[in-house]
Amino acid sequence: MRTVKTSPPSFPRVEPNAPFPLPAGQTWQVLCGDAGHWRAGVYSPAAAGREDCPELERHDCPELFLLLSGRLSLLVGRDRQVVELPLEVGRPVLVTAPHAGFCPDGPHTGVALVIERDAFETEYGTWDEQTASQTAVLPARR
C-alpha cells in the first residue's frame, strides 16, 4: 500500500461570488475550499466497470459524494467484501470506507460533487489490502 498526504491549502484560488467552469473529461478536479477546513471537487471516473478499478482508496476522514449527473457507482469495502453502491441524484453518501468509482455508461459520463477536509491522508491499496469492516452511510429515505 502507499500513502499520500494532502496539506492545506489544497485547492485552486477562484474568484469569489462569481460562477466558474466545471472541468470536463477529468477523473478528479478540486474546485475550491476553505483553507484548514474543507474543499470541494468534481469526481468523474474514467473507469467504466468494476474490472477497471484495481485498487481502492481510504481517507482518514469522511467524504461526502453527491451525484450531479449521469450514472456513477462506488465500490465500497464493507464486511471484508467490495460492494457496488450506485449513486442517486439528490441522495448524498458519506463514505468512510475504502472505495473506488466507475461510470457504467462509459468514461466520465457520471459526475459527482465531493466534499472533504482540506488536510488528510489517503491510503491506496488493492482490494485485498483495503477491504475492512467499514460502511458507507446512506441517508434515510423521506
Condensed to tens digits (0 to 9), the pLDDT of residues 8-19 reads 888 988 899 999
Taking the model in full, what pTM does it have?
0.86
Condensed to tens digits (0 to 9), the pLDDT of residues 16-30 reads 999 988 888 899 999
Q: 129 pLDDT band (50/70/90 cuts)?
A: confident
CATH fold for domain 2-130: Jelly Rolls (2.60.120)
The residue ranges of every structural domain in the chain are 2-130
Q: In what order do the strands lie in the sheet with 81-86?
A: 2-6, 120-126, 55-59, 99-102, 73-78, 81-86
Condensed to tens digits (0 to 9), the pLDDT of residues 70-80 reads 999 999 988 88
In this predicted structure, what is the pLDDT of residue 141? 44
In this predicted structure, what is the pLDDT of residue 131? 72
CB-based contact 12:31 (threshold 8 Å) = yes
Going by their DSSP bridges, the two strands 111-117 and 81-86 should be labelled as unpaired
State which H helix or E strand residue 128 sits in. Answer: helix 127-130
Give me the amino acid identity at 35.
A
CB-based contact 47:103 (threshold 8 Å) = yes
